[in-house]
Amino acid sequence: METKYNAYRVYSTGRRVKNPTIVFDLTDYEFFDDLDINSDDFDGEKIFLDKIVPTLDKKFSRYKFEVIRTDLSQEPRIDKFLEEEKRKQKQKTIFLGNIAARKLSNFASETSTVSLDYRSETEWKWQWCLNQACTNKFLGHLSSSFDTRSEADEWLEKSINN
């Protein structure tokens, strides 16, 4: 098994640096002989955080790291997740925007936003609604009513995928 790793600093936003902050080889450390690198529960990241970071400059102990073996893909894990979330959000916005254009075209000239509301205008049920931007004044319903927020989210996901 590969013993060389790249450690990337991860910012509080969840993004990480492009180039490795620290490159290390486990064979360079005295504790390597005590490790069973072929075991199923071997965790290079845990070893890095527990045994290597304390030996480094004090500032490194404040950072969060993503540790990846050098023989594996170096693609950021969190960036893939963030990109997928952005794509889903864009799909939701387009879908709800199309419903708003069809159902509530009389408000086309107003600056508006789409949101999942739980308010008196929705009879205290969850409902996707069109609201006036800035004031959040209710302009109209975009969906039927739901008892829970998760039901409203599920409806939106199913509607987008159909």
**Residue 56 corresponds to which tokens in the numbers above?**
């480094």
Q: Tell me, yes or no, whether 134 and 118 share the same domain.
A: yes
26 and 58, same domain (yes or no): yes
- Domain coverage including residue 111: 81-161
Give the count of domains, the chain.
2
- DSSP label of 155: H
Contact 104, 130 (CB under 8 A): yes
Q: What is the pLDDT of residue 53?
A: 87
52 & 116 share domain? no
Where does 56-148 have alpha helices with state H?
77-103
| pLDDT, average across residues 106-124 | 89
Tens digits of residue pLDDT in 17-75: 999 999 988 878 777 666 666 666 677 788 888 888 888 888 888 888 988 988 888 88
Encoded tokens for 95: 């879908």
87/102 same-domain check: yes
Note whether 143 and 125 are within 8 A (CB): no
pLDDT: which is higher, 135 or 83: 135
Residues pairing with 148 in the sheet: none
Give the span between the Cα atoms of 45 and 24, in whole angstroms: 11
pLDDT higher than 80, residue 109 = no
pLDDT at 137 over 80: yes
pLDDT of residue 48: 83
Same domain, 71 and 119: no
> Do 87 and 124 share a domain, yes or no?
yes
Are residues 45 and 113 located together in one domain of the fold? no
Mean pLDDT in the chain?
A: 86
Same domain, 107 and 149: yes
Whether 102 and 140 share a structural domain: yes
Mean pLDDT of 107-126: 90
Shared-domain flag, residues 156 and 87: yes
Separation of alpha carbons 11 and 127, rounded Å: 36
Domain identity same for 147 and 124 = yes
pLDDT of residue 45: 81
- In a shared domain, residues 68 and 89: no
Which of 75, 90, 125 is the last residue in one of the domains? 75
Which of 75, 101, 134 terminates a domain? The answer is 75
Which of 29, 44, 75 is the last residue in one of the domains?
75
